[in-house]
Amino acid sequence: MANEWAHQTVLLNEAVQALSINPDGHYVDATFGRGGHSRAILQRLSPQGRLTVFDKDPQAIAEAQALATADARVALRHEGFRALGEVGAASVDGVLMDLGVSSPQIDDPARGFSFRHDGPLDMRMDTTRGQSVAQWLETVPVSTLAEVIRNYGEERFASPIAKAIDRRRQERGPFRTTLELAEVVAGAVKTREPGKDPATRTFQALRIFINAELEELQAALEASLTVLKQEGRLVVISFHSLEDRMVKQFMARHSRTVVDRRAPFAEPAPMRLADVHRVMPSDDEVKGNPRARSAVMRVATRTGVPA
């Protein structure tokens, strides 16, 4: 049962190489998932090295707990990576964030992420707390729903979709399953992108919103500047344009000296990141793992003295 929903780690070797592992160092896998990156990092650490892992998903945490029990170098945090700043200032040699949804979460209908297989309309990364999508849809105003679908899904048919969802819940009551929602969305999307299910953008939007993914990412990116040592590496793998744009802009903003034009005689804000670059999956990886095709990895090195 444990291997029923297999996960193939994206950019495994590239990400670990980008961390430039110091065998005695302290590293953070901010999104443990099924532990592919974590295990590769541990293989390069000495007995004195340390790895702190974060995850909200109870199934991922169960797997991480087994790893931590077997390996004393692993410290486990059952929470989102917005808590990264609690690790300690200037205490970390590298931070890895592998964003998005893991294959087991998508493939297991019981998690409610998939619009291809019927299951409870949940979509929470951490099923032990917070509202499910089904619960949220029961009361959300149409205008708010349209805004969420537009902003987090970049869906141009957000307004018709929101109105169709509202009509359906008024006529037949609350949504309970993923396919109930996917069917309504498909009926409201007038044109379809080749090869993409009409519910793709809406499901993405609801998942990002219900898990506060972008807010958590922003908090974690800011915290990385505090926890990274000088010359520490920040490595972030994104899977959709909203995440990647946020990461790209964050790294660009902190990789230059900033002068406050409102206070021209004030000391310029120093550059905090350097050696910023992008890595894409190889053609061979995409061929072997189609879910890698949208991945973008961005890498930066902490420069200066952490605040």
- pLDDT at 264 (0 to 100): 64
- pLDDT at 113 (0 to 100): 80
Q: What fold, for 12-104+213-302? A: Rossmann fold (3.40.50)
Residues 6+ apart with CB under 8 A from 214: 152, 208, 242, 243, 246
The number of CA neighbours under 13 Å toward the Cβ of 207 is 22
Q: Which residue has the higher pLDDT, 103 or 190?
A: 190
Entry field: residues in the chain: 307
- pLDDT at 114 (0 to 100): 81
- pLDDT at 52 (0 to 100): 98
- Mean pLDDT of the 239-248 span: 95
* pLDDT level of residue 8 (50, 70, 90 thresholds): confident
Q: Which sequence spans correspond to the domains of the chain? A: 12-104+213-302, 127-210
pTM: predicted TM-score of the whole model, two decimal places:
0.90
* pLDDT level of residue 291 (50, 70, 90 thresholds): confident
pLDDT in tens, 52-88: 999 999 989 999 999 999 999 999 999 999 999 999 9
pLDDT in tens, 132-166: 999 999 999 999 999 999 999 999 999 999 999 99
Q: What fold, for 127-210? A: DNA polymerase; domain 1 (1.10.150)
Q: Which two tokens stand for residue 122?
A: 């949940």
Q: Which residues of 177-202 are buried (b: 16+ CB within 10 A; e: fewer)?
A: bbbbbbebbbebbeeeeeeebbbbbb
Strand ranges across the sheet with 296-302: 74-78, 50-55, 26-29, 92-98, 228-238, 296-302, 273-279
Mean pLDDT, the chain, as a whole number? 91
Of the candidates 156, 158, 153, 300, which has an alpha carbon nearest to the alpha carbon of residue 241?
A: 153
* pLDDT level of residue 2 (50, 70, 90 thresholds): very low
Q: Which residues of 222-240 are buried (b: 16+ CB within 10 A; e: fewer)?
A: ebbbbbbbeebbbbbbbbb
